[in-house]
Structure 1
Amino acid sequence: MATHLKLDKKGRLDLPQDMRDAHHWRAGTEFTVEDRPEGLLLRPLSDPAKTLKRQSAAHAGSGCDRMLASAMRDRYAKLGH
C-alpha cells in the first residue's frame, strides 16, 4: 500500500494512524533506518515487552530475576510500551 507523506521543517514524517495500529507502534517506538538504493528501509527495534517476557520465562526460578522483570515491565508500561 502506497501512502503520500510530507517531510516537515524538522525532518519528521507523520505515519498514518492505521499503519501505526497495524504494526502496534506507539509513541516512543524506536526504529533503525537503512539507506538503500531503492529508498529508506524503516525497521522497529525489538519490542521491549516481548524481550522481557522471553527473559522472564528463562529465569522463572529466580526470585530476584522475577522482581527485576516485574520492575522493568512496570517501567516499560509507564513509557507507553
Structure 2
Amino acid sequence: MQVTRLSSKGQVIIPKALRAAHHWEVGQELIAIDVGDGILLKPKKPFAETTLAQVAGCLSYQGKLKSLDELEDAIRQGVIQQWHDRS
C-alpha cells in the first residue's frame, strides 16, 4: 500500500509504481466513481463499450459471396499494389 495526500487544490498524486503498472501516462483521462467508502479511478475509454451483437449489423455484405481463393487473391493484389506504390 502506498500513501498520498490531497492538495489544497483537490489534487492527488498517483504513485509512479501504480501509474506504470496500469500504463497511465501524462494526459490520461480517468473516470472517478464513488464506491461509498472511497473513489475508484478507471481509465476513460475512447468509445462507449459495446457488444458484438450491437455492431455486427455493420458487417453484413450484400454482394455475391467470395471464395477463399478470391479473398486470398485480393489480399495478394493489395500487397503487390502497396509495394508498387512505395517504389
TM-score tier (shorter) = 0.5 to 0.7
Distance 1:38 1:8 in 2: 20
Unaligned 5+ segments in structure 2 are 48-87
Equivalent residue for 1:20? 19
Which structure dedicates a bigger proportion of its chain to helix?
Answer: 1
Distance 1:47 1:20 in 2: 19
Report the structure number with the largest CA radius of gyration. Answer: 2
**TM-score scaled by length of structure 2:** 0.49
Q: Which has the higher contact order (CA 8 A, sep 6+)?
A: 1
| % identical equivalent positions | 34
User: How many residues end up aligned between the 2 structures?
Assistant: 48
Displacement over 4 Å in runs of 4+: none
Distance 1:39 1:22 in 2: 21
Distance 2:46 2:18 in 1: 17
Deviation at 1:46, TM superposition (A): 2.0
**TM-score scaled by length of structure 1:** 0.52
Distance 1:6 1:23 in 2: 20
Equivalent residue for 1:42? 41
Deviation at 1:24, TM superposition (A): 0.5
SS at match of 1:21: helix
Give the letter for the 1:15 counterpart: I
Distance 1:23 1:46 in 2: 14
